[in-house]
A and B are shown apart, each in its own frame.
Chain A
Amino acid sequence: MRQSILQSDVDARGLVIDPRTKLLLLITMAVFVLGSVGIAQLSFINPVLCLIPFCLLLLSRRIKVAVVSLLIYALIYLVTMLVMPHTTGLINFLLLGTSVVVMRLLPGILTGMYVLSSTTVSEFTAAMQRMHITEKLTIPLSVMFRFFPTVADEFSSINDAMLMRGVSFGGGNVGKMLEYRLVPLMTCSVKIGEELSAAALTRGLGGSVRRTNVCRIGFHLADAVVITLCAAPYAGLLLSRCGVL
């Protein structure tokens, strides 16, 4: 069987951390790395934060993805530090652009990939329930966990079909190429979404009774480490606002 990067695999998962920790990590990454809210005195913390997703991917046995993206990140980081100060004009501009995009987006994307690929639907719903979040929000979000891997699967089939027809991005109209991919993707996704909901409804989803959950989640040592690392930039921000730093 083919397996895409987004499909969570319960057989060989390696390190397991609580979905709530993952959520905190995701938010922290978005605020401090993507949004770069941090303060100048604490600029060393960003690279540390960026290392977390690489470590987590390594620990959950997605070694190839982790190593390749770490190399890309390191390369761009070095270029930004060493080469960029010596360039001017257009080259400087291009380098700046790529470095900003890669350094800000890549860690966030990797975290997202890690969260999607390592969380099962029942872990996620269990976590949401513990946080007392309404089912009206939990159900659509948990469908998303199931939906993305399926869409990724569909997309690879469509790509195969395009290859066989000799239609590719190489020549011709880019807009058309996008359209040819998106039209079948949309129709398939709608169809699968519809069938998924029908199946879930006939198994009693959306009832008035309170759902139970057999999935056991909880905080362990690994969670403590990640949470501490995530808390650091918030603490720094708070302290600087109070005027301590």
Chain B
Amino acid sequence: MIEIKNVSFSYSNSKAVSLSDVSLHIQKGEAVLLCGESGCGKTTVTRLINGLIPHYYEGEMFGSVRVGELDVSKAELYETARVVGSVFQNPRSQFFCVDTTSEIAFGCENMGLPEDEIGQRIARAAEEMDVIALLRRSIFKLSGGEKQRVACASVSALQPEVLVLDEPTSNLDMAAIEKLWEVLLLWKKQGKTIIIAEHRLHWLMDICDRVVYMSRGKVETDCSMREFILKGDNRLTEMGLRPLYLKNFAHMNGSRKEHGGSIFLSDFFFCYKQAKTPALDIRQLELPKGKIVAIIGYNGSGKSTFARCLCGLEKRCRGILNEAGKEKKAKQRLKCCYMVMQDVNHQLFTESVLDEVLLSMKEPDEAAAVKILDSLNLLPMKELHPMSLSGGQKQRVAIASAVASCKEVIVFDEPTSGLDLRHMKEVSENLKQLSEQGKSLFIITHDLELIFECCTHILHLENGKVIGNYPLDFEGCKRLKLSFGSTVETDFIDVRKKANFTFNCRLQRANKT
């Protein structure tokens, strides 16, 4: 179905080679997992297949790419769109329309299909992807998981033979991932060819039958999922990959500090305009000071609202933070709290990394700024423009300015979404370092690995209420795993059961035809 032959590619704005001499042959109906560290070229491979390279992202390309009968690198993009459907990483920026129904219709409209057929296709895709309840809604009101499912439905309505997914789960919670899992299973049953580039591997074990591991623009390993699983998690860690089994995570926070006092929150109540139920409803809450607290819960459970209220960004929230007898209202909290946003591009303003840190200081002190930069390994970049840095470096610059402004409470909004193992560990090292300096850290996250790597306390929210507030000791670990749902506790036998089920379904379909 897909034939990539000796392809080398380098983007026109960079000197580095993204792919060198990659060849892949993918059969019809195969489900292939592309994995590897960030920057290994897996996204580039997905772009080769959907034709965005060389038609949209320009660069120097050698070799040929064929999908079915189509020569992708020569065919126009709208011709490729009939055969290959794509789902992207960022749910915010892959919608062309502002409402869900027209978004699902969008692709079909571009193909010039007759109106009543489009209607049928919308109905069918909505049925398959379980988005009927979401039809005719504004996309600005959907959660990340819902958006991603609508994106899948919109691709599905075009009925392509090949589906390409580029890190579709990086903004999703566990429940949304399980939904996406069902979508993929369905596509697989329909005999579609699936190519998925992903960092989180655990949910794909029983979907993909083949694994392509890439490193520095080359295919390093190309094996069946079975062989891949047999390699074991230790080998995967060496390869810079996230583990296959969430179950195997061990808690490893040896350097637990003594209890350092508490922060008391009271009357954290917040209701968005025009919303009927409050997004946040917390009467009393006691949280440890100077620890790393993970804030968990499903998309839309009030985590971000809690963080915004904690930082004092929502002025209408009348909650009070009491720390060692000192009461702080929203306005005072704004002075002592800092949030590292999910999209750090929003908070870098100046022309150089050093200026960024100096801007945050009450009295600019270059020597102190240099010291902070050095502690975060940013000294070599101090003269560079923040926007020219990589994602992880930008995040460190944001952390540096938080440190420089002497804020006591630092909130991180999903600091590891879409990061590979190495970068996730880097973030966790930074977090631990900040914690040792006595800062109180709050981390909104869906990343169980990160929690086990560095957090010491859990705050679990649901529907704006606290349903769990416990230290991450032995008992806490058990409870945490339970709250992360069934995916964590599945082991290989369950996976085989699921795989068998899939296989049976496929067999039945084959018998029918």
Q: Which residues of A contact B (CB under 8 A)?
A: 1-3, 7-11, 120-122, 142-143, 145-146, 149-150, 153-154, 157-158, 160-167, 179-181, 183-184, 187-188, 191-192, 195-215
Contacts and interface: CB of A to CB of B under 8 A. Distances in A.
B348 A121 contact: no
Given A160-B313, A167-B359, A209 B387 contact: no
Contact of B136 (A11, A153, A192): A11
B85 interface: yes
Given A198-B88, A203-B154, A180 B112 contact: no
Contact of B158 (A162, A164, A204): A204
Contact of A165 (B50, B110, B138, B359): B359
B334 A187 contact: no
B88 A203 contact: no
Interface of A is mostly: helix
Interface in B324-343: 334-335, 337-339, 341, 343
- Pick from B154, B272, B345 the residue with the most CB of A within 10 Å: B345
B96 A205 contact: yes
Which are the 10 A-B pairs with shortest beta-carbon distances? A207-B78, A204-B81, A209-B112, A161-B347, A180-B349, A122-B102, A204-B110, A199-B94, A195-B93, A203-B107
A164 B113 contact: no
A163 B338 CA distance: 10
A153 B95 CA distance: 15
Given A143-B96, A202-B84, 8 more contacts: A146-B95, A184-B345, A192-B93, A199-B94, A201-B78, A201-B81, A202-B52, A211-B109
B115 interface: yes
A149 B347 contact: no
A10 B136 contact: yes
Interface residues of B, number: 73
Interface in B59-116: 76-82, 84-86, 88, 90, 92-99, 101-102, 105-115
A179 B155 CA distance: 39
- Pick from B76, B343, B346 the residue with the most CB of A within 10 Å: B346
- Pick from B51, B98, B111, B360 the residue with the most CB of A within 10 Å: B98
Contacts of B52: 198, 201-202
Contact of B137 (A7, A10, A208): A10
B113 to A, nearest CB: 6
Contacts of B85: 202
Given A180-B349, A206-B78, A212 B112 contact: yes
B102 A149 contact: no
A121 B96 contact: yes
Contacts of A192: 92-93
Contacts of B51: 202
B280 interface: no
A9 B142 CA distance: 12
A240 B311 CA distance: 62
A157 B98 contact: no
A195 B43 CA distance: 13
Contact of A184 (B107, B109, B348): B348
B401 interface: yes
B350 interface: yes
A200 B97 CA distance: 10
Given A120-B99, A163-B334, A196-B94, A209 B111 contact: yes
A145 B339 CA distance: 30
Contacts of B93: 150, 191-192, 195-196, 199
Given A11-B138, A198-B52, A200-B96, A191 B349 contact: no
